[in-house]
């Protein structure tokens, strides 16, 4: 590791925000499963590493009936997997969290870190997008909340300013009759990144939301597609239509994991499987 950083571990949020505002080349450390790889490979030159794990404000992990679930920046992926609320209310998120990387990494990696790293193939964003997640952001100047669908701006890029830190992600209470699913294609059954992953939600009003990863420069919430599908109504026919139509809404590339044609094809197959399982229709 070439970086000769100083290690800072503030105990209150304000202290962290002031430090961020006043020091360039500061990198935020939560789980470290992306950051420490970048440090090990000398991909970044860090002057300061700001460890946020001792800030109690970021430990929040609280569900309020009728409102929703707030997931703080220090909540690890395995804490999501083990949470009764996530299991019962946000099934797709539980499924995505349980296939993310390996047991060892899930014990360190955080949900907020997964979105801040902004990999187009990250497993968690589709399952957050279908629940209209919002991101709570803080800086020394104040707080703001943005919808997650506007948070990603490119490959490994977000709308976060350098002096800002994500405090938490908020998921509205989906209500009772809600169900969701996350399916992904990988090259092998064990530990692999998603070649393409689809999350679908069927809410209490029978409306569908669809999100997808690894087929564009950012994870995508496919609102046009789901609007059209909802207008048609859910049937075996419309599901088959959507699994073809989805190919017009994505821009996959060819890389080491798959060709763009395969990604496009699998996007359709996964969508069909997701909707089939959610509706109980045989497609």
Partner 1 sequence: MAQKAENKACAMTTAHAESMERRVRLTCRVNGQFVVEDIDPTMLLLHFLRDRLKLFGTKEACGEGECGACTVIMNGRPVTSCLVLAIEAEGSEITTVEGLAKNGELSILQQEFIELDALQCGFCTPGMLMSARALLDRNPDPTDDDIKEAMSGNLCRCTGYRQIFDAVKKAAKREREELKRS
In 3D space, the residue among 10, 59, 210, 53 whose CA is nearest the CA of residue 127 turns out to be 210
User: If binding is defined by CB under 8 A, does position 29 make contact with partner 1?
Assistant: yes
Around 122, how many Cα atoms within 13 Å sit in the side-chain half-sphere?
A: 31
Min dist. Cβ of residue 84 to partner 1 (A): 17
Check residue 161 for interaction with partner 1 (CB under 8 A).
no
Q: Least distance to partner 1 from the beta carbon of 45, Å?
A: 12
Contact 233, 161 (CB under 8 A): no
Angle between helices 223-232 and 236-245 (to 10 degrees): 160
Q: How far is the CB of 104 from partner 1 (least distance, A)?
A: 5
- Nearest residue (CB) to partner 1, 93 versus 193: 193
Within positions 38 to 57, which residues make up the interface with partner 1, using CB under 8 A? 39-41, 49, 51, 53
Q: How far from each other are the two terminal CA atoms of the chain, in whole angstroms? A: 52
Check residue 104 for interaction with partner 1 (CB under 8 A). yes
Find the helix or strand (DSSP H, E) in which 242 lies.
helix 236-245
Q: Within positions 181 to 210, which residues make up the interface with partner 1, using CB under 8 A?
A: 190-191
Q: In whole angstroms, how close is the CB of 29 to partner 1 at the nearest point?
A: 8
Name the phi and psi angles at 219, rounded to 5: -65, 150
Is residue 6 within the footprint of partner 1 (CB under 8 A)?
A: yes
DSSP state of 32: -
The residues of the shown chain that bind partner 1, judged by CB under 8 A, are 1, 3-7, 29, 32-33, 36-37, 39-41, 49, 51, 53, 78, 101-105, 107-108, 190-191
């Amino acid at each position: 590791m070439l970086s000769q950083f100083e290690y800072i571990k503030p105990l209150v949020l304000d202290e962290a925000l002031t430090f961020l505002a006043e020091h360039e080349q500061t990198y935020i450390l939560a789980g470290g499963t992306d950051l420490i790889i970048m440090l090990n490979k000398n991909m970044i030159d860090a002057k300061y590493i700001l460890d946020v794990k001792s800030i109690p404000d970021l430990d929040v992990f609280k569900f309020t009936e009728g409102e929703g679930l707030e997931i703080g920046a220090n909540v690890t992926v395995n804490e999501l997997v083990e949470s009764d609320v996530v299991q019962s209310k946000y099934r797709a998120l539980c499924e995505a969290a349980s296939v993310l990387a390996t047991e060892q990494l899930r014990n360190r990696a955080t949900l907020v870190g997964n979105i801040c790293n902004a990999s187009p193939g990250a497993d968690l964003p589709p399952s957050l997008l279908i629940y209209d997640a919002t991101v709570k952001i803080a800086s020394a100047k104040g707080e703001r909340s943005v919808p997650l669908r506007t948070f990603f701006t490119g490959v490994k890029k977000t709308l976060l300013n350098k002096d800002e830190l994500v405090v938490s992600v908020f998921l509205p209470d989906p209500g009772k009759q809600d169900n969701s699913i996350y399916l992904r294609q990988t090259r092998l059954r064990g530990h692999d990144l998603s070649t393409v992953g689809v999350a679908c939600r069927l809410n209490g009003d029978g409306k569908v939301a669809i999100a997808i990863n690894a087929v564009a420069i950012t994870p995508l919430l496919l609102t046009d597609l789901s609007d059209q599908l909802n207008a048609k109504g859910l049937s075996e026919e419309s599901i088959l239509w959507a699994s073809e139509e989805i190919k017009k809404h994505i821009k996959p590339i060819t890389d080491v994991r798959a060709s763009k044609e395969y990604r496009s094809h699998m996007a359709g197959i996964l969508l069909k499987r997701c909707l089939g399982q959610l509706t109980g229709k045989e497609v």
